A = this chain, B = another copy of it.
Amino acid sequence: MNKHQVLEQVTTLWNTHIAFNQLLGFTITRMDPQESEIRFAWKDELMGNPVQEILHGGVIASVLDMVGGVVAAANIIENLPQLDESIIHEKLSRMSTIDLRTDFLRPGRGNEFIATARIIRKGSKVAVARMELHNEKGTHIAFGTGTYIVG
């Protein structure tokens, strides 16, 4: 397997085996060390404010945490000297978020939502990612910063 194939495999695994992502309807649409992306559609179950009909802040924090984790994982795979399946599996299962900051910029209104993430600090033990959430019209809804254990 080459790196591209590994990224495809992990994408498929995470899209089908992380229960909470399925509950919310999150789909990893790009797992790439440069920039990763998750998309999800509006559904009424994601509503946090019945008067304003907008996304719950927790949905926004969840997708930002997840997409930051995806780009951090893509970087782990990118930097592996060897693509041994058991090492990949072990490394990814031990990955975890240390802290997450979410800045809510505008109400979460839209039909589809696109979360993207890039790495801003690379390290052998810790990676920091910066995330953004937009809707299908390009409205910027939220910023996030996540610190992840990757080593």
Interface residues of A (CB under 8 A from B): 17-24, 44-52, 56-59, 61-63, 65-66, 69, 93, 96-107, 120-121, 123, 125-126, 128, 130, 140, 143, 145, 147, 149, 151
Chain B min CB distance to A57 (Å): 5
Contact flag A58-B58 (CB < 8 Å), given A20-B48, A151-B125: yes
Question: Which residues from chain B contact A51 at a C-beta distance below 8 Å?
Answer: 93
Question: Which residues from chain B contact A98 at a C-beta distance below 8 Å?
Answer: 98, 103-104, 121, 126, 128, 147
Partner of A96, one of B18, B50, B104, B151: B104
Chain B min CB distance to A96 (Å): 7
Question: Which residues from chain B contact A48 at a C-beta distance below 8 Å?
Answer: 18-20
Could you tell me if A99 and B96 are in contact, using CB atoms closer than 8 angstroms? Answer: no
A52 to B57, CA, bound (A): 26
Secondary structure at the A interface, as helix, strand, loop or mixed, is mixed
Chain B min CB distance to A141 (Å): 11
Question: Which residues from chain B contact A56 at a C-beta distance below 8 Å?
Answer: 18-21, 62, 65-66
Can you identify 19 A-B contacts, CB atoms within 8 angstroms? Answer: A18-B47, A18-B49, A18-B50, A19-B46, A20-B45, A20-B58, A23-B45, A56-B65, A57-B66, A57-B69, A58-B59, A58-B61, A58-B66, A61-B61, A61-B100, A105-B128, A106-B121, A123-B149, A125-B149
